[in-house]
Structure 1
Amino acid sequence: MTAGVPGPDGAVDPAAMGPGVNGPLLVAFAGLPGVGKSTLAVRVGAALRAPILPIDPVERALGRYGLVGDVPGMAAYGAVAGLAEVQLGLGLSVVVDAVNPVASARGLWHDLAERAGVPLRMIEVHCGDEAEQRRRVEARLPAEPDPHLPTWEQTLLRRAEYEPIIGPRLVVDTAVGVDPFPGILAYLR
């Protein structure tokens, strides 16, 4: 494997990523549904050989047991932050896959990185082609309605409520014809 270049299985040898990867990282993805966060999070997790902790299945599980609180989703964010803290404590990097729509959700990752003594790398993902983002969102919807998978209309509502991210981050547009993965790896170094 060449430094920072994925092998045939898509993984990148962390030792081959070059200087700057001297310990665990907390990588937090942010962005609306359908922008490509999960696809990129999986690739980053494979490159770092790090666990990927997605918020969505935790939210679904909490909802099935009636454990959704007054602040939608924050319980899931708290649960994932707790799991991430355990992994970071074991010396592993962690990749969080979440919409992270509001400052309070994103604040969990800043606080966790500080407590764990690891760098936080925030990656905000956009899809500059609204028709493509809509196609992606609608392609995920099953024949039977699933209250946990957002429709396009719900995605537009989330976009209206999405608070701008303030602070250091890498912004990626998945509608651009260039693969953002090499730039993401460079940012993680």
Structure 2
Amino acid sequence: MNSQVIVLTGLSGTGKSTLADHLARDLGVPAFSGDWLLGAIAPAHTVLAKLTRPDYLAMYHSLLESLITRQLMLDQGATVDCAINDTISERWQKIAEDRGARLDIVECVCSDEHEHRRRVEGRQRHIPGWHEVDWNHLQRMRVETPPLTVPHLTVDALYSVDDNLGHIHAWLRRP
């Protein structure tokens, strides 16, 4: 197995972007972010505004899937920072397996609601063309996001970035 794609998923404010960026640096692979991709296409807002929510999410996942596929075609890995469900995970797993690679999923959570809200309301990500997520948006996402049932590691934002990175690196070394 030459390549490994690590997907960090979860609700906003759970640390997935931070962990994805750290892992990308540690592993020497690109970090792909769904929010950065959507920010980049935001100037096409008149077209995007016409998309239904399912079509918008399909575009979001298709863009990331294309980047993952390209990396694997080059026998290289990546980290991916995005929200996924079991269906997307299974599709990306097949893409990885077809190329002799491994797909690992890390779900990021924040088990303390007060801390989670503080993190969401206090952050400024400064992604060009993209919006900051507020608590109401996060609550809608929580309702729309089914729990993952595919094999994955869960890390909690209540632990330090270094502790969570240690857990992830140990998990990634498994056979």
Q: Same fold (TM over 0.5)?
A: yes
The residue type equivalent to 2:79 in the other structure is V
Equivalent residue for 2:24, pick from 42, 45, 69: 45
Residues 21-54 of structure 1, C-alpha deviations (whole Å, 9 max, x = no match): x621011111000000011111111111010000
Q: Percent identity?
A: 30
Q: Highest Rg: 1 or 2?
A: 1
Q: Distance in 2 between matches of 1:172 and 1:38?
A: 13
Is residue 2 of structure 2 the alignment partner of residue 23 of structure 1? yes
Residues 71-123 of structure 1, C-alpha deviations (whole Å, 9 max, x = no match): 233202111111121112112111110122x3333334223212322111100
1:126-165 → structure 2 map (5 Å cutoff):
126-141=109-124, 148-165=131-148
Q: Distance in 2 between matches of 1:130 and 1:176?
A: 14
Structure 2 gap ranges (5+): none
Residue 169 of structure 1 corresponds to 152
Higher RCO by CA contacts (8 Å cutoff, separation 6 or greater): 2
| Secondary structure in structure 1 of the residue aligned to 2:101 | coil
Residue 12 of structure 1 corresponds to none
The residue type equivalent to 2:151 in the other structure is P
Residue 149 (structure 1) shift: 2.3
Equivalent residue for 2:72, pick from 50, 69, 88: 88
Structure 1 gap ranges (5+): 1-21
Residue 33 of structure 2 corresponds to 54
- Per the normalisation by structure 2, the TM-score is 0.84
Residue 9 of structure 1 corresponds to none
Q: Distance in 2 between matches of 1:88 and 1:121?
A: 14
Q: Distance in 2 between matches of 1:75 and 1:154?
A: 20
Query: Could you tell which deviates more after superposition, 34-43 or 54-63?
Result: 54-63
The residue type equivalent to 1:132 in the other structure is E
